Structure 1
Amino acid sequence: MQGTLNEIDIRSILQLIELGQRTGELLLEACAYPASSSRGDTNIFKASDRFPSHAGQFWLVFFINGQIAYAADNDGSLWRLRDYLRRYGVESALDQLQLPSIACNNAPEYGYLWALMEKHILTPAQGRSILQSMVNETLFDLLSLHQGFFIFEMGTALAPQLTTLEITPLLTKIMKQVQEWKQFHPYIQSPNQCPVIANREQLSVSLPQKAFATLNTCADGKTSLRQISRYLNRDILTVAGAIYPYIQKGWVQLLMKQDQKISNQNNQSQAIQTSTVTQIICIEDDVAIGKAVEYILQQHGYQVTVIKNPIKALTLAFELQPQLILCDIAMPSLDGYEICAMLRQSSDFRHTPLVMLTGMDGFIDRVRATMVGATDYLTKPFGESELLMLLEKYLGSKKRTNLKPTSLFPDLEQTIKDPDVRAG
């Protein structure tokens, strides 16, 4: 089942999954429809030329027998889980955990939540409460979505299973919240806006001492309304309703939250610019493609190390400390998703641009790559100019040379563009 959200809305999709008692994954992408698309286009998820990577935000919802087991957006980080753990004062426990094996196959956040319960840092009841809150906030965003694409893929159940939630009661509750949210417009437009106190004197007089102390702590211009709702274990509507009168009076103002990943990428780019040599790792088990990538990038001043063995690549990555990593998805022993998830758990590679290289051009693969922390996605076949433009995007511009391939590696660009062509 796949299509666009102008053909069927989110609520109807969820109800169909519930009625059919389906087990699998629902993937959604929010983006404006291009002029060239049509309601009858059934190949929209294969048209990577029309819908480039990161054109919109992604969401992923897991189902077991028509009930929701887990839901998240495409962040792929542990910031949301860390916010929820703050309720119980155990957010620092995440820093002590090793990457759970489940985190490589499912969303990392879910794997870590399960690991926290296995180590008795969270009780099962606390884990279920956090999971239900995660599902609620994800559905709130989805039910506010009106443009985008979706695909439901039948599959095995999410395991291990923590809990499942019935769809119909959730829809009734959250649809009501979505409708009530509209009353806050235009003063409050997004759960990601951050309150900051503009008139402390008036607030201290008007609010009870405890309420003022809470607001004074949270309203720092950096903590979003959604984060406050996580900390206080309240739904977003309750938090927004409590602060709304003071926003109307101008005593509290709202700022847009700076995207943490963009900030991290900017910091990484600044660090890269101070380095004299740009080190790149390419994890690719296809010898011909690996040689082609190596030759092209070396001719443009990059230092490139191509690694065929994905297990060896993990060790070499820590030794070489690259500024950017190119990683194939379909490989033996460890696939690209697993490598990406493992690298992202190390502070050394938490913000390193990591680009997936693959012959798969589907919407699902883009979502999965993003969920495990990939920065971008480059679909084979790709050309020299596409590869160089992507590197410039994350490493900054570099003066291109006009060197042409020598007879040692003839037709290197064609080798990349045509996987059936193999270097001699």
Structure 2
Amino acid sequence: MQGQLSELDIRSIFQLIDIGQQTGELYIESFEGPTNSWLVFFANGGILYAGRTNEQLNRLRDILHPLQLSINWADVNLSHLAPLRPPEYGALWWLLENNHLTTQQAHSVLHRLIEETLFEVISLHQGRFAFQFHASLSPQLTEFSIGPLVKRVIRQLQGWLQLQPHFSSFYDCPILTDTYRPETASNLPPLLAMANGKIPIIQISRRLNRSIFSIANGLYPYLQKSQIQLVHHPSASGSPSTQGSPIVNAVPRIVCIDDTLSVRQAIEMMLDTYGYEVTSIANPVKALSLLFSLKPDLILCDVTMPELEGHQLCAMLRQAPWFQSVPIVMLTGKDSFVERVKADMAGATDYLTKPFGEPELLALVEKYVGQGNPKRLAPETLLEQEISATLNPETWSHP
């Protein structure tokens, strides 16, 4: 099941899944503002989890903030997770299994994660969706009934809409103005204490364990009196972006996995000119072990390869803690919605359609790892010779 949101809205899709007691994954992509995408997991018509496709752990940390837990996030081990399990959901399981959370707390946190996602997607009108019928998340923490969740979110959205145009985005950041005169400046209410122009409304709602509408409604009287103003932030990615952060002293390391020699050579030539360290690998199976030694900053991976398909390779890499946050870009000859869904569900960060030129490739690479360093020292040739001799079948000699 797939289509455009202009033809079938999110609430109708949820209703169909609920009535049919379906199990699977719903992919949603927005055309409104910055391109964003989400995944919602279902089992027998109930919702198991919902979040952005690029969701890491920042949102979970914010929601856990009121609990004041002592967690060393470096200890969170996600390596045992299934390939398609979202890191956020896996981390929640880890916290539960290691007794950082009770079962009731974990259920409450999961409910907030789902509710926030529904608040983002239910009002979308421009975009597309795809539902894949297959086994969903495993293990399953709990199932939430669709009906009560959707009704609750719709009430919040109706309240939010009544506050427009005063509030245009829940990623806007409130800041106190000079007209605010508290009786005791050192004892601000928690809501106003966070109004520093740096924390968006959606993050305040997480940290105070209140809905987005509740936060906006609480801020509204101060906005009317000009005691606060909103700082607009156009980016609603929810995740830190590396775009526009050039790397000058370091040399970004890029690995290209593609079984076509001409593609590898073209990528090497284009990126080497701009100061990137590029390693190309033809055999995807061999690439799995070598990548752990190379620890690249960016991976370019062909979709269609013998022995191991690109989406499978991407999903395998996402199991390892090191590769949870490394950008993985799929190289595909098909520019279609289905290909984008496959890439997102495998955990890919982005995709690039073949054939592509130098401007497209360079723009994508700079987006994720910054600029190269053309003045870098000449790279050692030992690794290059080893890869050429052992991994690229075009160079093998036959007895």
Q: Which category of TM-score, normalised to the shorter sequence, fits these structures?
A: 0.7 to 0.9
Question: How far does residue 217 in structure 1 lie from its aligned partner after superposition?
Answer: 2.9
Deviations 1:64-106 (A, max 9, x none): 1111111112332211111112121227432221224226322
Query: What letter corresponds to residue 273 of structure 1 in structure 2?
Result: V
Match for residue 314 of structure 1? 291
Q: Secondary structure of the residue that 2:21 maps to in structure 1?
A: coil
Taking the aligned partners of 1:423 and 1:384, their CA distance within structure 2 comes to 26
Question: How far does residue 6 in structure 1 lie from its aligned partner after superposition?
Answer: 1.4
Q: Given that residues 76 and 371 in structure 1 are in contact (C-alpha distance below 8 angstroms), is that contact kept between their aligned partners in structure 2?
A: no
Q: Secondary structure of the residue that 1:104 maps to in structure 2?
A: coil
Question: How far does residue 149 in structure 1 lie from its aligned partner after superposition?
Answer: 0.6
Taking the aligned partners of 2:367 and 2:104, their CA distance within structure 1 comes to 45
Deviations 1:166-213 (A, max 9, x none): 1112222211211111111121122211111114752446x9x96x24
**Which structure dedicates a bigger proportion of its chain to helix?**
1
Q: Secondary structure of the residue that 2:49 maps to in structure 1?
A: strand
Question: How far does residue 261 in structure 1 lie from its aligned partner after superposition?
Answer: 4.7
Taking the aligned partners of 1:72 and 1:60, their CA distance within structure 2 comes to 6
Query: What letter corresponds to residue 294 of structure 2 in structure 1?
Result: A
The 3 A distance-change label for structure 1 pair 316 and 128 is: same
Q: CA RMSD in A?
A: 3.3
Q: Given that residues 69 and 100 in structure 2 are in contact (C-alpha distance below 8 angstroms), is that contact kept between their aligned partners in structure 1?
A: yes
TM-score by length of 2: 0.80
Taking the aligned partners of 1:292 and 1:284, their CA distance within structure 2 comes to 11
After the TM superposition, which residues 249-288 of structure 1 pair with which residues of structure 2 at under 5 Å, given as runs?
A: 249-257=225-233, 259=235, 261=239, 263-267=241-245, 269=246, 272-275=247-250, 279-284=253-258
After the TM superposition, which residues 109-188 of structure 1 pair with which residues of structure 2 at under 5 Å, given as runs?
A: 109-188=88-167
Match for residue 220 of structure 2? 244
Match for residue 25 of structure 1? 25
Q: Given that residues 196 and 255 in structure 1 are in contact (C-alpha distance below 8 angstroms), is that contact kept between their aligned partners in structure 2?
A: yes
Moved more, 129-138 or 291-300: 291-300
Q: Given that residues 174 and 200 in structure 2 are in contact (C-alpha distance below 8 angstroms), is that contact kept between their aligned partners in structure 1?
A: yes
Taking the aligned partners of 2:345 and 2:59, their CA distance within structure 1 comes to 13
Query: What letter corresponds to residue 85 of structure 2 in structure 1?
Result: N
Query: What letter corresponds to residue 10 of structure 2 in structure 1?
Result: I
Match for residue 356 of structure 1? 330
Deviations 1:321-361 (A, max 9, x none): x4543234567396113325636667xxx5x6542324565
Query: What letter corresponds to residue 192 of structure 1 in structure 2?
Result: Y
Match for residue 390 of structure 2? none
After the TM superposition, which residues 18-417 of structure 1 pair with which residues of structure 2 at under 5 Å, given as runs?
A: 18-31=18-31, 56-90=35-69, 92-102=71-81, 104-199=83-178, 201-204=180-183, 212-257=188-233, 259=235, 261=239, 263-267=241-245, 269=246, 272-275=247-250, 279-284=253-258, 289-295=263-269, 297-298=271-272, 302-307=276-281, 308=283, 309-318=286-295, 322-328=296-302, 332=308, 335-340=313-318, 342=320, 350=325, 353-359=327-333, 361-363=335-337, 365-367=339-341, 369-370=343-344, 374-382=348-356, 386-391=360-365, 394=368, 395-396=370-371
Taking the aligned partners of 1:313 and 1:192, their CA distance within structure 2 comes to 40
Taking the aligned partners of 1:378 and 1:173, their CA distance within structure 2 comes to 39
Question: How far does residue 218 in structure 1 lie from its aligned partner after superposition?
Answer: 1.4
Q: Percent identity?
A: 42
Q: Given that residues 100 and 112 in structure 1 are in contact (C-alpha distance below 8 angstroms), is that contact kept between their aligned partners in structure 2?
A: no
Moved more, 363-372 or 234-243: 363-372
Query: What letter corresponds to residue 107 of structure 2 in structure 1?
Result: R
The 3 A distance-change label for structure 1 pair 139 and 389 is: closer
The 3 A distance-change label for structure 1 pair 365 and 115 is: farther
The 3 A distance-change label for structure 1 pair 92 and 204 is: farther
Deviations 1:131-181 (A, max 9, x none): 111111111111221111111111112111011111112222211211111
The 3 A distance-change label for structure 1 pair 229 and 298 is: closer
Deviations 1:40-73 (A, max 9, x none): xxxxxxxxxxxxxx97210111111111111112
Taking the aligned partners of 2:350 and 2:91, their CA distance within structure 1 comes to 24
Q: Given that residues 27 and 364 in structure 1 are in contact (C-alpha distance below 8 angstroms), is that contact kept between their aligned partners in structure 2?
A: no
Match for residue 43 of structure 1? none
Q: Secondary structure of the residue that 1:102 maps to in structure 2?
A: coil
Question: How far does residue 112 in structure 1 lie from its aligned partner after superposition?
Answer: 1.0
Query: What letter corresponds to residue 114 of structure 2 in structure 1?
Result: V
TM-score by length of 1: 0.75
Taking the aligned partners of 2:98 and 2:339, their CA distance within structure 1 comes to 32
Question: How far does residue 368 in structure 1 lie from its aligned partner after superposition?
Answer: 6.0
Taking the aligned partners of 2:359 and 2:47, their CA distance within structure 1 comes to 43
The 3 A distance-change label for structure 1 pair 101 and 289 is: farther
Query: What letter corresponds to residue 79 of structure 1 in structure 2?
Result: N
Q: Secondary structure of the residue that 1:265 maps to in structure 2?
A: coil
Q: Secondary structure of the residue that 2:48 maps to in structure 1?
A: strand
The 3 A distance-change label for structure 1 pair 423 and 200 is: farther
Q: Given that residues 284 and 327 in structure 1 are in contact (C-alpha distance below 8 angstroms), is that contact kept between their aligned partners in structure 2?
A: yes
Q: Secondary structure of the residue that 1:163 maps to in structure 2?
A: coil
